Amino acid sequence: MTEIANQPAEPQVAITTPIESAARPTHRPKRTYNPVTSVIKHVVLIAASLLMIYPLLWMLVSSFRPTDEIFRDTGLIPANATLDNYTYGWTALDQPFGFYLLNSAIVVVGCILGNVVSCSLAAYAFARLKFTGRTIMFAIMLLTIMIPYHVVLVPQYILFQNFGWVNTFLPLIVPKMLATDSFFVFLMVQFIRGLPKELDEAARIDGCGHFSTFLRIILPLMVPAIATTTIFTFIWMWNDFLSSLIYLIDPKMYTVPLALRAFLDSTGQSNWGAMFAMSVVSLIPVFLAFLFGQRFLIRGIATTGIK
């Protein structure tokens, strides 16, 4: 490809600490810009941004419109703004929509607690402890990131059915308590490796065992990695559809995605206004997580390279 690329490629890459590098401010020397190309660039980027978020903005505005208007008005200014869609949508299913929000919240909180505790324990062992079988176990941990979920879907269902866990939140939460989301283990391992080892050694000299070193030294310093894990778990589980679809059959156990799907089935194409309104309600928590957690999200994906 180039002179650079033609050098023999060594199958080795230095362990960088991407968290530091991703967060490192860039001190680039100022370049001279052609103001015309700069303006063109911004115009194109702004047009692209608008195109990207137009569907979201339009859904938000349309949720305040009567349904027949949704199918006529392509603009962003509502002619007859109304809250009817929200009041109707909130009570259109068996339970008020808040009920499904609460179900989703229970699942999400359980999964966050599970992931944070189990993944940080495993990450500490991989990052700081020497033990027999470490290399192979670490390799297995990394490989499990790449295994398609569907290959365990059927046997897991049979297993959880035998436990009597169908129509409970346990099939969604318990796997997280067992650190099956390997990418969070990997993310935390990367983070712990970036912390100075002298801290552990000082704690050891002061008489701390591994557990108190972990609890008192490492865990408090891991807050950014825990925040990233929390926000990603929150968004993924809030949006989770497939596992909920399989395990939560009883409408009383529906999470928000299942409630929205029930909306589609029950009102069909007839009440888009109410469906949009509840869709907006379901996206508000995701948007808030994005708004307040963006820093951690961006750091997290820059570190592990996982969406």
Closest Cα partner for 194 from 215, 216, 229, 224?
224
Least CB distance to another protein at residue 69 (A): 11
Least CB distance to another protein at residue 196 (A): 19
Least CB distance to another protein at residue 211 (A): 8
Buried residues in 45-72 as b, exposed as e (16+ CB within 10 A): eeeeeeeeeeeeebbbbbbbbbbeebee
CA distance 284 to 272: 18
CA angle (211, 217, 221) in 5-degree steps: 125
Neighbour tally for 284: CB within 10 Å: 11
148 vs 220, beta carbon nearer another protein: 148
Least CB distance to another protein at residue 240 (A): 9
110 vs 257, beta carbon nearer another protein: 257
Q: Would you mind telling me the total number of residues written for the chain in this entry? A: 307
Rg (CA), the chain: 24
42 vs 252, beta carbon nearer another protein: 42
Closest Cα partner for 119 from 210, 192, 28?
192
Least CB distance to another protein at residue 91 (A): 19
- Amino acid identity at 101: L
221 vs 297, beta carbon nearer another protein: 297
Least CB distance to another protein at residue 142 (A): 5
Least CB distance to another protein at residue 82 (A): 18
64 vs 276, beta carbon nearer another protein: 276
Sort 259 into a burial class: Cβ within 10 Å, 0-12 / 13-18 / 19+. Answer: buried
7 vs 196, beta carbon nearer another protein: 7
159 vs 223, beta carbon nearer another protein: 159
Least CB distance to another protein at residue 77 (A): 15
